[in-house]
Amino acid sequence: MTEKKETITLRETVAVHVRAWREIRGYCPGLYPCTALHSALQALTPYASIYLSAQLLNELAGPRRPQLLWRWALLLIFLTAGLNLLTQAAFRWQTALQDRYQVRRQRLYGDKLRSMDFADIDKAGTHDLLSQIRQNEGWADWGIHQLYLQFSQMTEGMFGIAGSVALTASLFYSKVPQTAGAFVVLNHPLCLGALFGFLALLTVLAPLFRNHASAYWSRYAEQARFGNRVFHAFSFIFGEQRRSADFRMYNQQVIARHYMADNTFSVGGQMHRAAKGPMGAWEAAAGALGSVLTGAVYLFVCLKAWAGAFGIGSVTQYVGAVSALSRNISLVIETVGTLRSNVPFLRTAFEFLDIPNAMYQGSLTTEKRADRKYTVEFRDVSFCYPGSERYALRHVNMKFRIGSRIAVVGENGSGKTTFIKLLCRLYDPSEGEILLNGIDIRKYDYDDYRKLFSVVFQDFQLLSQPLGSNVAGAAVYDRERAEKALVDAGFGERLASWPKGLDTMLYQEFGEDGVNVSGGEAQKIAIARALYRDAPFIILDEPTAALDPVAEAEIYSRFNEIVTDRTAVYISHRLSSCRFCDEILVFDHGSVIQQGSHSQLLAKEQGKYAQLWNVQAQYYTETE
């Protein structure tokens, strides 16, 4: 892959980092002012010591007046001690804010995900962008976090320049006495101009060389992201318990080592070659220029002191101040270069943050009915996924009867899951409308409408948290209600066997006393979670797919008791589970081609439902 070269302007560099500051400042109130204060104290404190030490040495090398010696000594002790104390206090304050910021800054992307339209969350491209952002932050803190790191250096450099200039200015207007012979040439404006120009050239060139070196990080950004992705994919899987059997049986470490060896950052990789070649050369040149600059400063200052322009103590002041001036100017220029290298990474972050929310959120409050009398109607609903020309649903018309049990069946890709996503308003119809009690659901407050539904998705997720918290979705909850939900879901016997009951930790991510539950047990917990929410509609996507036949029979035998007066919708591949439902919707190629009870649909021998039933009959004829 060839290198990516592009011109990144200073204007864009400033603009994107100003925006980054606006995006992140709400997550770290007080951090940037505190960092600026600490940087100012950190930069200026050494100059107080340099200046006072120079005055003390000049007095010792000259008149040695006790009164002035005491004054300079006490000022040196108390002022530097006070400044150091303030610096440490600011550092402690900054550290506390920074620790809080490290936790809070990740909320920027989490808040965006929570506010994003589900249609965008459902896209692989959205998660790829987020993955790139995480990878950029993971391998070198590139992206929005880089702003804070460079802000600290920039403010320290700016304050350092101000302090250095204050202590250095007198170096150039301190005259060599006319009695100094040939050294008088040091007073000539051309000599001073040539020296100043030479020092300025070295000061600017050294950080520019370093910026050339650091530019390779952004130039290889795409390859570096991929290399980091490979690193995270293959370097930690050896310790994953779920992979241990496959690793042992199929020697998967061989392929893992292959990808780890052939990586952007591995020996012989692109970054390795760049570091050995041009990156290393630019860094070496910058270091050499820094040494030349230090030598030039020492030569000029010592020559002026030798000629009698100032005392020996001032040598310490000027050498320290000029070196610090050069160092701080270099720091500012390097910081600008790093910020410029950070621009491509910020573009990725903003591409994610700028994903627009197109879904109308609505404003009507859903009616809170104790009798759960909510009716939902699909009226000529069609839907096409964004970016696709094929309709996933086409002209669906149906109405949920209050308190009914509805089964949704059909082959894979027939539109069942899309139907449920539209019902829950994870997506809006491309055509037609969905009505709740006669009102288009798009007019209802989005979050308020979603509270009407309890859903058990086929790919549900449980947290490594106590059982009760998983069921309730909260740390503080109604324990009796949670226990009842678990019993209703068929988990009562297992719950009774655990000494800690609802306080039993699931899985072992946070302790060895955690309990690993089977797939069927996890599914019962997920069903209990849906029951605990007690919403008017309960939707179960393959609710018993991971249960054994005995557990499945137990659930279905008590289903009316479990669901009570809710309206229930089931997505199922097992047609035997549809017999207890009041109505069955048969989907095929995005359309509802049959609708009726089990007996009604089975009576139509040439219908799709009867065909599917007969295909599966061998598995449940004995049960019947």
Tell me if 231 sits within 8 A of 207, measured CB to CB. Answer: no
What are the DSSP calls for 497-547, one per residue? T-TTGGGPBBSSTT-TT-BPPPHHHHHHHHHHHHHHHT-SEEEEESTTTTS
pLDDT in tens, 434-466: 999 889 999 999 888 988 888 888 778 888 889
pLDDT at residue 417 greater than cutoff 70: yes
Chain-wide mean pLDDT for the chain? Answer: 82
Give the whole-angstrom CA distance, residue 134 versus residue 149. Answer: 17
In the sheet that holds 591-596, the strands lie side by side as 453-456, 537-541, 567-571, 405-410, 583-588, 591-596
**pTM here?**
0.73
Residue tagged 């306080």 (tokens): 503
pLDDT attached to residue 554: 65
What residue type is assigned to position 395 of the chain? H
pLDDT in tens, 383-411: 998 878 889 999 999 888 778 888 888 88
pLDDT attached to residue 546: 61
What fold, for 22-220+264-353? ABC transporter transmembrane region fold (1.20.1560)
pLDDT attached to residue 624: 46
pLDDT in tens, 559-570: 667 777 788 888
pLDDT attached to residue 529: 92
Does residue 296 or residue 78 have the better pLDDT? 78
pLDDT attached to residue 371: 65
pLDDT attached to residue 200: 76
> Mean of the pLDDT values across residues 367-381?
81
pLDDT at residue 524 greater than cutoff 50: yes
Q: Where are the domains of the chain?
A: 22-220+264-353, 221-263, 461-534
- For the chain, state the CA radius of gyration: 36
Neighbouring residues of 80: CB distance < 8 A, sequence distance ≥ 6: 45, 48, 49, 52
Give the whole-angstrom CA distance, residue 287 versus residue 206. Answer: 7
> Mean of the pLDDT values across residues 515-527?
86
Q: In this structure, what are the phi and psi dihedrals at residue 545, rounded to the nearest 5 degrees?
A: -60, -35
pLDDT at residue 576 greater than cutoff 80: no
pLDDT attached to residue 83: 87
Does residue 482 or residue 275 have the better pLDDT? 482
Q: Which of 472, 453, 457, 471 shows the shortest CA–CA distance to 536?
A: 453
pLDDT attached to residue 370: 67
pLDDT at residue 4 greater than cutoff 60: no
Topology agreement, domain 22-220+264-353 and domain 461-534? no
pLDDT attached to residue 237: 67
Does residue 47 or residue 378 have the better pLDDT? 378
CATH placement of domain 461-534: 3.40.50.300
pLDDT in tens, 115-133: 888 888 888 888 888 888 8
pLDDT in tens, 139-177: 778 889 899 889 988 998 889 888 888 877 777 767 777
